Amino acid sequence: MSYDSELVLSMANVDEHEMMTGDSYPALYGSADAASLKAQHTHLLLYKVYLGSLVLGGVTSVFTAIGSQVVNKWLYASLAVILIIGLLILWITRARQDDKIWFDGRRRVGQDRYLAIHDEGGALP
């Protein structure tokens, strides 16, 4: 049984009075929009930090060509730390799944706008 058919079956068991009314859609729109924007901000911030760590690692590796043996030892150690931090940030980004929340929120906002327009006779939320 698909998700859509389960939704139709579950909606068949709901009274008309328990269903959402047209004035519920602006609140749904607002909460989905806020969650989506917050997830977008967090996702893009984490990716900026991750890309920054890659750039910083690249710049650090350039200086190994001109450094002495002692300096290179510290540069290699700092390069390893920078790349490990970058991998941890990437792991955190994948675990949080802010991109999924962001895209699902955008989809939900579109659905709420559609429902509000058609239920309210063309009024945008």
Residue ranges of domains in the chain: 35-125
Per-residue pLDDT at 18 exceeds 70: no
pLDDT at residue 98, as a whole number: 84
Cα 1 to chain centroid distance, Å, stands at 29
Question: Which tens digits make up the pLDDT trace of 36-88?
Answer: 888 888 988 999 999 999 999 989 888 888 878 888 899 999 999 999 999 99
pLDDT at residue 100, as a whole number: 84
Question: Which tens digits make up the pLDDT trace of 29-38?
Answer: 777 778 888 8
Q: Is 82 exposed, middle or buried (0-12, 13-18, 19+ CB in 10 A)?
A: buried
Q: Are 86 and 50 in contact (CB under 8 A)?
A: yes
